[in-house]
A and B are shown apart, each in its own frame.
Chain A
């Protein structure tokens, strides 16, 4: 046995598994998305793109995903920065704070929000008691509920992505900026933020992808009326049993994600290189 043989033996099981149980299924799905009763067809795509209902679903998915990504970045950056700069004990607690929800099943966390946001739940009750909203106020089954739930689900991903970059920023750079006359917030904006851009971008790509492709939380918090694309795919698979149409929607979802992410990643790559 030589080195080449040893290394080949080591990668082979994984290679075979991924090829057969990952790439073949995806290929199968791609084929199914263009197959009709009478050979290859684009009918499933034209059906989706020609139907205002589905276009509405697509638009809602993009809109909510962008919003969720922005909110996650807005909370995640300061949180990550604070985590990187506090003492080790507090940092440990903050990491647990982020990891604990991350490692808890999405189903369980969504359930928590269902309880909090339901008609008689804690949050609507509080808002009613404060007189901020009317008697018939409800959050459940609204887009707001989806956004709140999804931000909580995805914030840990964003925070950890940014944290990975921010911990590598030398605190002396900020001190140097301070000695050159920056206020604390200015040093944050002119030194830390630009250096953290790669982390924010990585986190945004991740959060956007996860957000656009999730259906568990949107289904449970948004209900049947407020459909997002992934939920519609799930329905096509399990309820209407229209698999080719489900496959076509999945392709649209993936292409849509790529169409938004590739220019974004390129833009960001160009910026951080320049």
Chain B
């Protein structure tokens, strides 16, 4: 902190930070609290302690099935978005293609368009051509919205790498494929990893596309929770939500191990 700041200001700053922290974390803490309550009803602070709602969740076909779908979609999306977005970023970084800056804008455009607008379009197009939606619809649309993240993180990493590495490898006898695989891809690694985490997190937590592109038997975890919240919330929702929060925390820890959270946050 900048020195020479008066004490009242210092205190005001601390109060501000504490209040903001409470505001940001309160909903998460409350969800965790409700999930261990003994009560039939959603109540915070919780009355008693019990893990019965977790048992109920793990025994529920609806939740387990939804979790399975979410996980499958998220893994598929992570792989495709990372490969497709990473490859595109490598080519975009070289700026050798015609219209390369227009192309870069094109690849980032899903970030700008509100997801709800895209979701309607996807639903309408899919229904018109293929009929009922399927897991493929969800896979493709999640890939579309996560590709820009991979492209952005990979481009950011590449822009900081030494521009002469590829040429140097060439003067050392590396063929086209060897240059790509042994020189360029290793340079992209941190960007690809960050992008992959974004893709997984967004796909797994995403509710808008998943709500529009659902049908019986194609319900992701966030959609299942949303449905429960609209109609008959009980503490089992809190238990599922807590599991999702735990997953997020795990993800953050892994990210910090692999890249450092700070770097990830600035991507």
Interface residues of A (CB under 8 A from B): 1, 3-4, 6-8, 10-11, 13-15, 17-18, 21-22, 24-29, 32, 75, 78-79, 82, 85-87, 91-92, 94-101, 103-116, 118, 120-122, 152, 155-156, 160, 163-164, 167, 171, 174-175, 178, 184-185, 209-210, 212-216, 219-220, 230, 233-234, 237-238, 243, 246-247, 250, 253-254, 257
Contact = CB atoms under 8 A, between A and B. Distances in A.
Contacts of A15: 88, 103, 106
Dominant secondary structure of chain A at its interface with chain B: helix
B239 to A, nearest CB: 11
Dominant secondary structure of chain B at its interface with chain A: helix
A233 B88 contact: no
B225 interface: yes
A26 B31 contact: no
Interface string B9-39: 1000100110011011111111100100000
A14 B207 contact: no
A234 B116 contact: yes
Given A10-B91, A22-B109, A108 B245 contact: yes
> How many interface residues does chain B have, given as a range?
35 or more
B211 A11 contact: no
B85 A14 contact: yes
B186 interface: no
A164 B265 CA distance: 9
Interface stretch (B54-62, B121-129, B157-165): B121-129
A174 B97 contact: no
B67 interface: no
B120 A237 contact: yes
Contacts of B1: 82, 85-87
B141 A21 contact: yes
Interface in B197-240: 201, 204-208, 211-212, 221-222, 225-226, 229-230, 233, 237-238
A26 B4 contact: no
A103 B204 CA distance: 10
A180 B244 CA distance: 52
Nearest to B34: A115
Contact of B116 (A3, A92, A94, A253): A253
Contacts of A185: 9
Nearest to B201: A103
Q: Which of A6, A24, A112 has the most CB atoms of chain B within a 10 A radius of its CB?
A: A112
A7 B97 contact: yes
Contact of A230 (B116, B123, B233): B116
Contacts of B50: none
A237 B122 CA distance: 12
Contacts of B45: 122
Contacts of B230: 219-220
Nearest to B110: A22
A113 B29 CA distance: 11
Given A99-B265, A107-B229, A113-B27, 8 more contacts: A26-B113, A82-B17, A101-B27, A103-B252, A104-B244, A107-B241, A112-B26, A156-B24
B211 to A, nearest CB: 7
B107 A14 contact: yes
16 contacts: A15-B106, A26-B121, A79-B16, A95-B261, A98-B24, A106-B222, A107-B207, A109-B27, A111-B238, A112-B31, A115-B27, A115-B34, A118-B42, A155-B24, A184-B2, A233-B120
B82 to A, nearest CB: 11
Contacts of A247: 120, 124
B122 A152 contact: no
A111 B116 contact: no
B30 A106 contact: no
Contacts of A120: 43
B229 A220 contact: yes
Contacts of A25: 118, 121-122, 124-126
A-B pairs, top 4 by smallest CB distance, nearest first, are A112-B27, A213-B114, A25-B121, A29-B121
B115 interface: yes
Contact of A6 (B9, B29, B176): B176
Contacts of B208: 214-216
B85 to A, nearest CB: 6
A120 to B, nearest CB: 7
A109 B176 CA distance: 48
B40 interface: no
A243 B44 CA distance: 40
Q: Which of A13, A91, A121 has the most CB atoms of chain B within a 10 A radius of its CB?
A: A13
A103 B13 contact: no
A17 B77 CA distance: 13
